[in-house]
Structure 1
Amino acid sequence: MAYADQQMSGSKIIAIIVVALIHVALGYVLITGLAYSAAKKLVERVTTVDIEEPPPPEEEPPPPPPDEVRPPPPVAPPPPINISVSPPPIQTVTTPPPPAPVVPRAAPPAPPPPPPAPSQARGATPDGQGRWAARIQENYPARAIRDETEGRVGVRVTIGANGRVTGCSVTNSSGSSVLDDAACEGMTRFARYNPALDNDGNPTTGSASTTIVYQLSR
């Protein structure tokens, strides 16, 4: 009984293998046949060229005969013209009233000018007169000493803006030219002044007068 079952199992396996081989063969044939037919159709499609012929040209209509005359286009009548005569314009002239008389007005009086600033002008004044007068006495002319000449010399000097004497002239002679010359020379060398001032207080040139006394000590 067991032997018979083993024979039956082996027969079934062989039968199944045969059936599987048959199916494989049929599938191969089917696949290869389909592939061949598809390839054939593709070759036919590639080798076939569709050539389309261009459409024939449209025929132009024949020209009209030369003797044919076209009728003129219809002309619409012109619109009616309305002529109306307008009355002439009326111009009115308005006379303006006479201008009012102009009353002259007197200009207000000008304000008085401001008072001028006080003047700062002053004349030149001696600066340390006792000191420089003594120096002039010390320079008593030697010739006048020998001759025992004495006298009074009136001089007028010009004073610069720096306070120094720039010019000298004898206004009252002593009677001795030696003393007169010595007086102007001493004033030019030793005299000092506070310079004169102008209206704004700035130093300026001035002048002054003085008397030089020559007297010998006894």
Structure 2
Amino acid sequence: MAYADQKMSSNKIVALVIVALIHVFVGYALVTGLAYEAAKKVISKVTTVDIKEEKPKEEEPPPPPPKEDVPPPPIVAPPPPININPAPPPVQTVNIAPPAPPPIAVPVAVAPPAPPPPPAPSKARGASVKGGWTSRFNQEYPARALRDEKEGRVGVRVGIGPDGKVTSCSVTSSSGTPDLDQAACAGMARFGRFNPAVDSAGNPTSDSYSTTIVYKLS
């Protein structure tokens, strides 16, 4: 029984609390709703103000300016007529003398140059044999060739100085016997005497002379 009473008392308390909350909610809703309506009416009164726009007064037009005495425009004279075809300038004639004829070249006879003088006769000449010394070769017959009875012809070429003496000798044609060849050049150096060669001015100069020495037993 105590438990049942206790449960019923708690249910009453809960019911009372719920009823109280409902009353509070309803009162809050009423209070806020009334306040909202009152505020809405105040705002509508404040914002809805009739403003009457005044029309601007029309300004009267200004009076016209007084008329001034304007002088009449000046009279402009028309420009003088212009002569489009002016008279041509006078033409001056100038007499120009004809050009002088070019000078005529007259051929002038030119004497031919004098022929050069003939050259002076040349005094040049070659060396020549002086005296009869060629016969002495048989007197100087080589002893071996004489003993062997050798004969022959030896061609020699000798160089001659400005003094007419033999300066060199060479065998141009051998006899076939060496003793005779050697004797020919030795005899030319020993016995040979020449008139020296001279140049075109007549001065002695070097030259050469070719001859043949004949060795023959009598």
TM-score by length of 2: 0.48
Larger Rg belongs to: 2
TM-score by length of 1: 0.48
